[in-house]
Amino acid sequence: MITGGAGFIGSHVVRLFVNKYPEYLVVNLDALTYAGNLENLRDIESAPNYVFEKADITDQKTISQLFEKYEFDAVIHLAAESHVDRSIIDPLAFVKTNVLGTASLLNVSLGFWKKNMNDKLFYHVSTDEVYGSLGEKGFFTETTAYDPRSPYSASKASSDHFVMAYYHTYGLPVVLSNCSNNYGSHHFPEKLIPLLINNIKKNKPLPIYGKGENIRDWLWVNDHARAIDTIFHTGKKGEKYNIGGFNEWKNIDLVHLLCRIMDKKLGRKEGDSAKLITFVKDRAGHDMRYAIDASKLNKELGWKPSLQFEEGLEKTVDWYLANEEWIDHVTSGNYQHYYDQQYEKR
């Protein structure tokens, strides 16, 4: 079972597993919130080893029925509320899905697996944001103390703690990974990169929080999916692995790079798109810098990113320009309401 498979990262993980492992039956369990979109999986939806089940991870009864039906031997758990700005507007929705939902899944998994834990695995997908915010120097390692500062990262940190608690207390076989910011195709345009691509294309202002000095480490989503595949198959039970792109960017530098790529792709004069940059009120509690040390994953399991950032960004821009229908669908309806609420008063 892969939870959250209709979302951004989940859809890449589902696609990779369905295509690479025809001998696995992949059950994609997703509640199809605003962020879940079955269009993300159109290319594999009729594969014989793929099934979709619409369900909410907080609904233990339905999840139990699905465990009965499919006898899952592994769970890769990605379903979550995932956007920091939304967590500032509605923190309890994050507690419900990320904390209660994860604890419910752990509980049902334990109930079904406790007689025989051999060859079972609960893989929890988490974020580097649980570690808090860095100054100019240093990196997050697997032993960095948790110090979450947004409702989103607090809810993810809590879910991580429950995963480790089920390992230590009940012996549930678990593995956990904490990844940096992803970018790539099928990314919902509330997050920085797809929002900028969409706005540049439409000649709309590019809202940059504060002075644009915050730093993120960016990883191509397909490389995250490859890392999940590696950890799922070769990671040590009870261990956690950091995943990162070795690729730190200040937001303002990133937006300029993206504007240059978009000018070229759209046949605009160099500098035209950058005129859309608009500095807006900063995010409350905005973490300054994330930087991840992914050397454990590299040394122990041999994973490393496959793509340079500029190449990955170009591929991403190409995908958005070639998939206007996708962006039109996801930005119709509630998206506009969220956008107005988030940016109108800034």
Task: Report the interface residues with ligand TYD, using CB under 6 A.
Answer: 84, 181, 191-192, 195, 207-209, 214, 216, 251, 283
Half-sphere exposure of 198 (CA within 13 A, CB side): 25
- Alpha helix stretches (DSSP H) within 235-333: 251-266, 295-301, 309-322, 324-331
Which positions from 276 to 315 touch ligand NAD by CB under 6 A, shown as an x/- string? ----------------------------------------
Among 28, 58, 185, 316, binds ligand NAD (CB under 6 A): 58
User: Which residue's beta carbon is nearest to the bound ligand NAD?
Assistant: 7
Residues linked to residue 125 through DSSP beta bridges, in sequence order: 177
| Residue 285, both tokens | 């509690």
Residue in 123, 152, 166, 183 annotated catalytic: 152
Which positions from 167 to 186 touch ligand NAD by CB under 6 A, shown as an x/- string? ------------x-xx----
Among 156, 226, 240, 289, binds ligand NAD (CB under 6 A): 156
245 binds, among ligand NAD, ligand TYD, none (CB under 5 to 8 A by kind): none
Smallest distance, ligand NAD to C-beta of residue 57, A: 4
Active site residue 68: no
d(CA 346, CA 343): 5
Smallest distance, ligand TYD to C-beta of residue 86, A: 9
SS (H, E, C) 166-235: HHHHHCCCEEEEEECEEECCCCCCCCHHHHHHHHHHCCCCEEEECCCCCEEEEEEHHHHHHHHHHHHHHC
**Percentages of the chain per state (helix, strand, coil), in multiples of 5:** 50, 15, 35
Is 225:19 a contact under the CB 8 Å cutoff?
Answer: no
The rounded Cα 90 to chain-centroid distance in angstroms is 19
Using DSSP, state whether 338 is helix, strand or coil: helix
182 binds, among ligand NAD, ligand TYD, none (CB under 5 to 8 A by kind): ligand NAD
209 binds, among ligand TYD, ligand NAD, none (CB under 5 to 8 A by kind): ligand TYD
Smallest distance, ligand TYD to C-beta of residue 233, A: 28
Is 162:102 a contact under the CB 8 Å cutoff?
Answer: yes
Among 16, 19, 25, 32, binds ligand NAD (CB under 6 A): 32
Binding site for ligand NAD (CB under 6 A): 3-4, 6-10, 30-33, 35-36, 56-58, 78-82, 97, 101, 125, 127, 156, 179, 181-182, 188
| Residues carrying an active site annotation | 128-129, 152
